[in-house]
């Protein structure tokens, strides 16, 4: 009975504690903070509100009414309040400040510890790019960190797109081919799909000039990726219109891998309906690979139980490579499922070569009854030493040993100058 009353007391005490607990005080400065007046005090009072949503609503409303002349008072109010890295209060301050002094806001974000968070810098550069995209992009690209450069460049491009100012696509097109340009295309394509819908984005991408085919191909791919995230079946139907044309490369893979995040079996079922070719093979392989990365048990169950058809050959090749370092006989079973000749022999050859490094006699016994093409048998067993396991290390050791021997011989033999002096 005593124990029961004690437990009841603990429960009641816990519940009372929950209902009467107050959030930590956000104030800095004690009495100094209380002496603030005017705009600084208004800002402080708003920032002391413990409810995040209420506080952000009030802060946004207050800042909307203030102009550049209030910057000092606003900062004074902020300085009197506890802030952690990247708090949304600072993001709102950054957005407001950047509307009239983006360079100053950016310098503040880079020099104030609590504001040294990408979200704060992103807000500044995004607002800056709505007014002056060239200046904002120059600031983003001048940063020492490549990772931060990429992230803040994306913010600039988003701000440029939001402003509806001309020249965005031309700027991206003028960038040299590579990851930077692809990232920029991704920002525009994603926002086009989200803002206008997949159908409008498809039409926009198709109407781009063909003068830079690589640029247009990357736009089409990224529109396919973004559309597949929101309407995979619609994206799949559109990609089917690209099959057989000069822009088919990579498009099925983009849809398949994105669709597989939510419905992998539906994605593979669609891929099975596409005509044979490199585009379908790449898509099947990468879709299965991504599925294995996210949910290996479900992917394995599907691959082991599905009715095997030629379109799944790339999946079998993937499975054989996955198992080659763990279970060579099982890896060979998967490779032998492959029906397409070149892929089948290549996959078997890779596994048998790995087997030969471990047990050459067993590998030769397998080859004797496997009817491998002569060229493949030669490739399996006629391997240069530097390509065998440990070969590179042996080559380095041999070179080091030869250098040591040469140095020892050089020390043992008198030099020409020494010999000349002795003869004298």
pLDDT of residue 209: 92
Average pLDDT, the chain: 85
Whose CA is closest to 235, among 187, 177, 183, 283?
A: 283
Highest-scoring range by mean pLDDT, 11-25, 229-243, 370-384, 398-412: 229-243
Q: What is the DSSP string of 236-278?
A: HHHHHTTTTSTT-TTHHHHHHHHHTTT-HHHHHHHHHTSPSSH
Contacts by 281-285, CB closer than 8 A, 24 or more apart: 281/313, 281/314, 282/250, 282/252, 282/253, 282/314, 283/252, 283/253, 283/255, 283/256, 283/257, 284/256, 284/311, 284/312, 284/314, 284/315, 285/314, 285/315, 285/317, 285/318
- Which of the residue ranges 113-122, 239-248, 338-347 would you say has the lowest mean pLDDT? 338-347
Examine the pLDDT at 396 and tell me if it is beyond 70.
no
Residue 60 has pLDDT above 60, yes or no: yes
CB of 392 closer than 8 Å to CB of 402: no
Is the predicted pLDDT of residue 13 greater than 70, yes or no? no
Q: Which pTM was predicted?
A: 0.76
Residues facing 27 on adjacent strands = 81
pLDDT at 346: 84
> Could you report the per-residue pLDDT of 115-127, keeping only the tens digit for each?
889 999 999 999 9
- Spans of all domains in the chain: 177-295, 307-398
Determine the pLDDT at residue 32.
64
Q: Is 27 helix (H, G, I), strand (E, B) or coil?
A: strand
Q: How far is 318 from 274, CA to CA, in rounded Å? A: 20
pLDDT at 386: 55
pLDDT of 424 > 80? The answer is no
C-beta pairs of 132-137 under 8 Å, 24+ apart in sequence: 132/102, 133/159, 133/160, 133/163, 133/165, 133/167, 133/168, 133/171, 135/102, 135/103, 136/102, 136/160, 137/171
Q: Which pLDDT does position 393 carry in this prediction?
A: 45
- Dmax (CA) of the chain: 115
pLDDT score of 383: 59
State mean pLDDT over 32-43. Answer: 88
Contacts 24+ apart (CB under 8 A), 329-338: 332/366, 337/308, 337/313, 338/313
For residue range 48-59, what is the model confidence (pLDDT) as tens digits? 999 999 999 999
Q: Around Cβ 168, how many Cβ atoms within 10 Å?
A: 18
Question: What confidence tier does 420 reach under pLDDT thresholds 50, 70, 90?
Answer: very low
Is the pLDDT score of 240 beyond 70?
A: yes
- If you compute the radius of gyration of the chain from its CA atoms, what whole number of angstroms results? 33
Check whether 416 has a pLDDT greater than 50: no
């Amino acid at each position: 009975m005593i124990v029961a009353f004690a437990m009841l007391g603990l429960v009641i005490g816990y519940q009372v504690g929950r209902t009467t607990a107050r959030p930590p005080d956000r104030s800095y400065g004690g009495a100094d903070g209380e002496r603030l007046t005017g705009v600084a005090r208004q800002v402080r009072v708003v920032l002391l509100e413990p409810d995040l949503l209420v506080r952000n609503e009030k802060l946004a409303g207050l800042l909307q009414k203030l102009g550049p002349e209030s910057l000092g008072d606003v900062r004074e109010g902020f300085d009197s309040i506890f802030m952690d890295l990247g708090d949304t209060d600072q993001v709102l301050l950054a957005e407001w400040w950047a509307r009239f002094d983006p360079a100053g806001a950016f310098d503040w974000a880079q020099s104030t510890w609590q504001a040294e968070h990408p979200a704060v810098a992103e807000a500044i550069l995004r607002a800056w790019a709505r007014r002056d995209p060239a200046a904002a992009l120059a600031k983003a690209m001048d940063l020492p960190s490549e990772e931060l450069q990429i992230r803040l460049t994306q913010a600039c491009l988003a701000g440029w797109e939001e402003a509806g100012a001309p020249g965005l696509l031309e700027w991206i097109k003028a960038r040299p081919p590579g990851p930077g340009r692809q990232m920029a295309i991704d920002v525009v394509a994603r926002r086009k799909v989200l803002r206008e819908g997949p159908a409008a984005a498809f039409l926009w991408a198709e109407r781009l000039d063909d003068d830079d085919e690589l640029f247009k191909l990357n736009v089409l791919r990224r529109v396919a990726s973004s559309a597949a995230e929101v309407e995979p079946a619609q994206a799949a139907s559109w990609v089917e219109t690209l099959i057989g044309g000069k822009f088919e490369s990579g498009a099925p893979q983009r849809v398949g891998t994105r669709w597989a995040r939510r419905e992998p079996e539906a994605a593979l079922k669609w891929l099975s309906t596409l005509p044979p070719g490199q585009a379908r093979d790449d898509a099947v392989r990468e879709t299965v690979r991504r599925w294995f990365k996210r949910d290996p048990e479900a992917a394995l169950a599907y691959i082991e139980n599905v009715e095997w058809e030629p379109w799944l050959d790339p999946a079998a090749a993937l499975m054989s490579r996955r198992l080659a370092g763990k279970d060579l006989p099982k890896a060979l079973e998967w490779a032998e499922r492959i029906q397409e000749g070149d892929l089948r022999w290549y996959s078997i050859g890779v596994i048998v070569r790995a087997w030969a490094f471990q047990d050459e006699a067993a590998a030769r016994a397998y080859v004797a009854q496997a009817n491998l093409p002569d060229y493949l048998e030669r490739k399996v067993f006629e391997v240069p030493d530097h390509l065998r396991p440990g070969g590179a290390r042996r080559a380095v050791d041999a070179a080091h040993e030869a250098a040591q021997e040469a140095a020892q011989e050089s020390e043992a033999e008198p030099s020409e100058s020494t010999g000349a002096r002795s003869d004298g």
